[in-house]
């Protein structure tokens, strides 16, 4: 797909609740996680930093950073509309998110990503934690 018709504009901003819901639903995560529109919208104010990719004013990608602002940053919800994937949008969003964390001297930048995306993030310098490395998640019924 050629992006020559309309350039991609990257902004340090949160998507609106409606834009975020549209992106999130395009990822297929909503069905797996059964997340309502209200719950999706409630996540946005907790972002420490965000980047939106816009084409013709319409959001086609986003990424968020959750952080304490000093020690830890967690990159989440990096989503590009399916029809726009493969054009470098996700890479540019990630570069901007990481650059902001580095600007403030964040000690650790971690990542929460979808299954099957490991090679994409490895190309950007991320490495998988070893089995005996730090970090765990809550498992089992909730």
DSSP structure string for 30-86: HHHHT--HHHHHHHGGG-SEEEEEEETTEEEEEEEEEE-SSSEEEEEEEEE-GGGTT
**CA angle, corner 90, sides to 43 and 96, nearest 5?**
75
Instruction: Tell me if 133 is assigned to some domain.
Output: no
Domain holding 60: CATH number?
3.40.630.30
Q: What is the mean pLDDT of each run of 10 residues along the chain (142 residues)?
A: 72 97 84 81 96 96 96 95 95 97 94 87 89 68 49
- At residue 7, the pLDDT reads 93
Q: Give me the domain span that covers residue 71.
A: 8-121
- At residue 30, the pLDDT reads 59
- At residue 98, the pLDDT reads 96
User: How many domains are there within the chain?
Assistant: 1
- At residue 136, the pLDDT reads 67
- At residue 100, the pLDDT reads 97
- At residue 1, the pLDDT reads 46
Distance CA 61, CA 58 (A): 9
Instruction: Tell me if 115 is assigned to some domain.
Output: yes
Instruction: Tell me if 127 is assigned to some domain.
Output: no
In this structure, what DSSP letter does residue 28 have?
T
């Amino acid at each position: 797909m050629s992006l020559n018709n309309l350039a991609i504009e990257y902004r340090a901003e949160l998507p609106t609740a409606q834009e975020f819901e549209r992106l999130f639903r395009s990822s297929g995560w909503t069905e797996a996680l059964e997340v309502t529109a209200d719950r999706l919208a409630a996540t946005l104010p907790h972002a420490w930093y965000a980047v939106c990719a816009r084409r013709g004013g319409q959001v086609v990608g986003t990424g968020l950073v959750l952080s304490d602002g000093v020690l830890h940053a967690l990159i989440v919800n990096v989503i590009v509309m399916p029809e726009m994937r493969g054009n470098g949008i996700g890479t540019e969003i990630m570069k901007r998110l990481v650059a902001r964390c580095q600007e403030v001297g964040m000690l650790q930048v971690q990542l929460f990503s979808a299954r099957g995306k490991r090679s994409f993030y490895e190309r950007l310098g991320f490495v998988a934690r070893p089995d005996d490395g730090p970090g765990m998640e809550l498992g089992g019924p909730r």
